[in-house]
Structure 1
């Protein structure tokens, strides 16, 4: 396979991914297939590589029915082979030792994200989370980085010949209560995954010229 064909295949995934609302309820993904998709999603970039996400996978009919009213009756929740809840980690600083532990033990000093030592790296992480404990920093980081994983999940799904649909129309507090989510995590979005029963609804996109600002806004721009 040539470099050009690989690029074309990748771009095809980006261009053909659309949000699906109607899924074939008879189509079932195996646990291994779901794990592979989530492994790929977990390869998304994240601040300090702290991997600010947890995935809750809903495959059982009973669990999906429990989720359905929380998701305001959106039927793709139960018809999709799996619905993934992407949670953001408000305490991702606690992941630092796990993420960098093996690197530290191996003495690979050139892998600390540009830092001179792991002590400086870990200190900066802890300081950022301590200083911003009462600000929106933790929430912003949790949502921002978990969203990167969610997008990677949807692209991986399309690359596998499957379909997906993100949902943000759900009751976050009810989700937390119903599924016993620890305070450390916040629900960011749901992603339904399976085989489309109907094509995705056609949507329009702004022309690229309408979305680019070259080198900053003009003074007093509105």
Structure 2
């Protein structure tokens, strides 16, 4: 086997080890602390996730301050990972992300990925088409992108030997009030990140044949 082939094979093994090794961990080592740069590295990997028209609607609030975590604890129904994990990352989505099209496509022009004429057409299309969508459609699309970036964040953490747990169980209204979040942004989830004090327990999955239909939906 060539060196390239060996590297590709090893990368495949590593990827599946990451996927299989991810667990929802709820017991964290409170003495383990991630640096700001380490958290930024995780987010840099997460934002490589795909999004509709590359509008990247995700926004993050990184919570590492212990006093703020204590305020968050009752809002998150006293889930202890909120205070024990190194960080809690709130994933939000911008419901008006399409207004960032000039910035995004402008960066694509600077990178040489498209010319200015193409960028201008895309900006106009985004404003006319996406901007006219009803709010519920904008929310639906944004939440899909928010789910993609959240999963990518958790896999990036596992690849670095870290542990995570996604949390949908918290008082969204109280969280928004605590953080001063405007109506422009919608909540996706909270993700605790850190080093496990106890491993997450293994879980079962439905068989692929049970959840999959071919060339039509036959359930």
Q: State if a TM-score over 0.5 links the two structures.
A: yes
1:2-46 CA distance string (max 9 Å, x none): 210111011110111111111111111111101111111111111
Provide the secondary structure at the position in 2 that maps to 1:164.
strand
The aligned residue for residue 132 of structure 2 is 131
- 1:85 corresponding residue in structure 2: 90
Deviation at 1:213, TM superposition (A): 0.7
- Counterpart pick for 2:99 among 61, 71, 94: 94
Aligned position for 1:176 = 176
CA distance in structure 2 between the partners assigned to 1:201 and 1:56 by the alignment: 28
CA deviation digits over 1:175-200, x for unaligned, max 9? 11111012211111000000111111
List alignment gaps of at least 5 residues for structure 1.
Answer: none
**Distance (whole Å) between structure 2 residues aligned to residue 16 and residue 104 of structure 1:** 39
Q: Structure 1 residues 170 and 128, CA, compared in 2 at 3 Å: closer, same or farther?
A: farther
1:120 corresponds in structure 2 to 121
- Compute the displacement of 1:103 (Å): 3.1
Indicate the RMSD between aligned Cα atoms, in angstroms.
1.8
Query: Could you tell me which of 76, 94, 101 is aligned with 1:71?
Result: 76
Tell me, yes or no, if structure 1 residue 199 matches structure 2 residue 184.
Answer: no
Taking a change above 3 Å as real, the CA distance of residues 125 and 203 of structure 1, as seen in their structure-2 partners, is same
In the alignment, the residues of structure 2 paired with residue 106 and residue 206 of structure 1 have an alpha-carbon distance, to the nearest angstrom, of 44
Instruction: Kindly state the Cα deviation for residue 130 of structure 1 after the two structures are TM-superposed.
Output: 2.7
Q: Which residue among 32, 36, 39 is the counterpart of 2:37?
A: 32
Deviation at 1:157, TM superposition (A): 0.2
1:157 aligns with 2:157: yes
Deviation (angstroms), 1:147: 1.2
* SS of alignment partner, residue 138 of structure 1: helix
Aligned residues: 214
Cα distance between partner residues in 1 of 2:51 and 2:97: 10
What's the counterpart of residue 148 of structure 2? 148
Whole-angstrom distance in 2 between the partners of 1:18 and 1:108: 37
Aligned-residue offset at 1:89: 1.0
- d(CA) in 2 for partners of 1:55, 1:130: 23
1:17 and 2:22 are equivalent in the alignment: yes
Report the CA distance shift for 1:158/1:108 in structure 2 as closer, same or farther (over 3 A). Answer: closer
Shift of 1:98: 0.9
Equivalent residue runs for 1:45-60 within 5 Å: 45-60=50-65
Unaligned residue ranges in structure 2 (runs of 5+)? 1-5
d(CA) in 2 for partners of 1:102 and 1:135?
A: 27
Question: Do structure 1's residue 5 and structure 2's residue 10 form an aligned pair?
Answer: yes
Inter-partner Cα distance in structure 1 for 2:10 and 2:131: 48
Q: What SS does structure 2 have at the residue aligned with 1:2?
A: helix
